Amino acid sequence: MAVKSVIEAVREAMREEMRRDERVFVMGEDVGWRGGVFLATQGFIEEFGEARVIDTPLAEASIMGIALGASFRGLHPIAEVEFADFVWPTVNQLIGEAARVCYGTDGKLNAPMTIRIPYGGGIRGGLYHSQSVEAYFFHTPGLKVVAPATPYDAKGLLKASIRDNNPVVFLEHKKTYRLVRGEVPEDDYVLPIGRAEVKRAGSSITLVSYGLMLHYCLEAAEQLAAEGVAQVEVVDLRTLRPLDTATVLESVKKTGKLLIVHEDNITGGVGSEIAALAADAAFDYLDAPITRLCGPDVPTMPFAQTLEDAYMPNTHKIAEALRTLAAY
Partner 1 sequence: MTQAGTQTTDGIAGGIAGPLEVDGIDMSRRLPQGVAPEDLVDIYRRMVLVRALDERIWMMNRQGKVPIAASGQGHEAAQMGSLLAAEKDGNCFFFPYYRDLSIKMSGLTPTQVMLSFMGKAGDAYSNARQFPLQGADLAHNIIQLSNVVAASLTQSVGYALGCRMLGDERVTLVYFGDGASSQGETHEAMNFAGVHRLPVVFICENNGYAISVPQRLQMAIGDVAGRAEGYGFPGLVVDGMDLLHSYEATAEAIAHARREGPVLLEMKVERLMPHTTDDDDSRYRPREEVEAAKLRDPVATLGAYLLAEAFLTEEQEEEIKAQARRAVNEATDAADATPPPDAGEMLKHVYAP
Q: Which residues pair with 219 in a beta bridge?
A: none
What is the number of other CB atoms lying within 10 angstroms of the CB of residue 51? 8
What is the number of other CB atoms lying within 10 angstroms of the CB of residue 93? 24
Closest approach of Cβ 64 to ligand TPP, in Å?
A: 12
Binding residues for ligand TPP (CB under 6 A): 29, 58, 60, 82, 86
Closest approach of Cβ 58 to ligand TPP, in Å?
A: 5
Does 105 engage in binding with a second copy (CB under 8 A)? no
**Rounded to whole angstroms, what are the CA distances from 38 to 53, 219, 320?**
15, 26, 34
Closest residue to ligand TPP, judged by C-beta, is: 86
Kind and range of the H or E element at 53?
Answer: strand 53-55
Rounded distance, CA 328 to CA 323, Å? 9
Separation of first and last alpha carbons in the chain = 43
Contact assessment for residue 234 and residue 199, using Cβ atoms and an 8 Å cutoff? yes
Closest approach of Cβ 201 to partner 1, in Å?
A: 31
Which of residues 114 and 291 has its CB atom nearest to a second copy in the complex? 291
| 3-class DSSP assignment, residue 190 | coil
Does 247 engage in binding with a second copy (CB under 8 A)? no
Kind and range of the H or E element at 179?
Answer: helix 176-179
Contact assessment for residue 4 and residue 184, using Cβ atoms and an 8 Å cutoff? yes
Which of residues 39 and 286 has its CB atom nearest to partner 1 in the complex? 39
Rounded distance, CA 169 to CA 147, Å? 9
Orientation of helix 151-163 relative to helix 6-20, angle to 10°: 30
Does 187 engage in binding with a second copy (CB under 8 A)? no
| Partner touching 327 among a second copy, partner 1, ligand TPP, none, CB below 5 to 8 Å by kind | none
- Tell me, yes or no, if 76 is annotated catalytic: no
| 3-class DSSP assignment, residue 189 | coil
Q: Indicate which residue of 76, 129, 173, 262 is catalytic.
A: 129
Question: Which residue in the set 96, 189, 309, 320 belongs to the binding site for a second copy (CB under 8 A)?
Answer: 96
Closest approach of Cβ 291 to partner 1, in Å?
A: 20
Closest approach of Cβ 78 to ligand TPP, in Å?
A: 17
Question: Which residue in the set 62, 123, 139, 198 belongs to the binding site for a second copy (CB under 8 A)?
Answer: 139
Rounded distance, CA 231 to CA 254, Å? 12
Which of residues 82 and 164 has its CB atom nearest to ligand TPP in the complex? 82
Which of residues 189 and 303 has its CB atom nearest to a second copy in the complex? 303
Q: Is 61 exposed, middle or buried (0-12, 13-18, 19+ CB in 10 A)?
A: middle
Which of residues 64 and 232 has its CB atom nearest to a second copy in the complex? 64
Closest approach of Cβ 34 to ligand TPP, in Å?
A: 10
**Which residues are part of the catalytic machinery?**
129
Residues near a second copy (CB under 8 A) are 61, 85, 88-89, 91-92, 95-96, 99-100, 103-104, 127-128, 135-136, 138-142, 241, 243, 265, 267-273, 275-276, 278-281, 283-284, 286, 288-292, 297-299
